[in-house]
Amino acid sequence: MPCLSVLALSLWGGNRILCISSIVKSARHTRRLVHITAESVTAPLGCIHAAFIFVMTMYTQLYNRLSFGWNTVRIDMNAAQRDPLPIFPFGLAAFAATLFALGLALGTTIAVGMLFFIQMKIILRNKTSIESWIEEKAKDRIQYYQLDEVFVFPYDMGSRWRNFKQVFTWSGVPEGDGLEWPIREGCHQYSLTIEQLKQKADKRVRSVRYKVIEDYSGACCPLNKGIKTFFTSPCTEEPRIQLQKGEFILATRGLRYWLYGDKILDDSSVEGVSRIRGWFPRNCVEKCPCDVETDQALEGEKKNR
């Protein structure tokens, strides 16, 4: 599993930064993937077994305490109606505890079972959710510029069985050492890295410059920016950034009432702060005239291709 093992290279200040921590984390995660998957199988099986015991226990104990009348059914939790008496007492507290344990067993079966299916989906595709997102952006980039190229994900061997054998081996150790992985024919170890660099460069080209026309405090759900802005706040852990009138922002993506981008810093910025980025309301900024002309030129270039 590559799982973020790709060299995270970013062009920042003209230098390429290599994130070693993601590679080490990837290697450790990959070696534990077999154990995680095995636990996600055995845990639901154990919970199913426990649930069966709980159900049979309640059924047996309640059946021994049932008494039927002409129009009523009575459950006596104090004593059993049959001989011999039960080996262990089963009162109202024991019944409540057994019912609670049954709920926990069923909930664990569903939750961990879903985790197992997610893990198996990742293993069979040999692709994490982040890598799927990168592949989707690669296809969008090629389609947007109408390029004569095809992006092939390098770690998908083209067969689910071959992807499965990379993780589940006879030695118990998945293939790959965290730095180099088996790759598909026609690709190399840095195919995904090169695609990420292309996407970063394309992101800078397609970014739009905005000028701040209204101050913004950085609140998650601002009340003074409109009702629609308040109720459509992005549900994400990404931060909000404070805005002051006259500042400039490079927006890279956005929603209908929100934008996400980097604040353009000048020489008077705080030392030690190299980048400030986050979400901000769309009605607090306006597009710079130069970027409007640039957008029209890009659209014309796209049509000419």
Beta pairing class for 277-281 and 248-254: unpaired
**pTM for the full predicted model:** 0.60
Neighbours of 167 (CB within 10 A): 21
Domain 207-289, classified CATH 3.90.1150.10, yes or no? no
Neighbours of 20 (CB within 10 A): 9
Domain residue ranges in the chain: 22-71+87-125, 129-202, 207-289
For 73-128, write each residue's pLDDT tens digit. 666 655 555 555 555 667 788 888 999 999 999 999 999 999 999 889 888 988 88
Residue environment code for 82-118, b if the CB has 16+ CB neighbours within 10 A, otherwise e = eeeeeeeebeeeebeebeeebeebeebbeebbebbee
For 221-256, write each residue's pLDDT tens digit. 898 999 999 999 998 888 999 999 999 999 988 899
Any idea which of 9-18, 25-34, 156-165, 250-259 has the lowest mean pLDDT?
Answer: 9-18
Residue environment code for 278-304, b if the CB has 16+ CB neighbours within 10 A, otherwise e = bbbbbbbbeeeeebeeeeeeeeeeeee
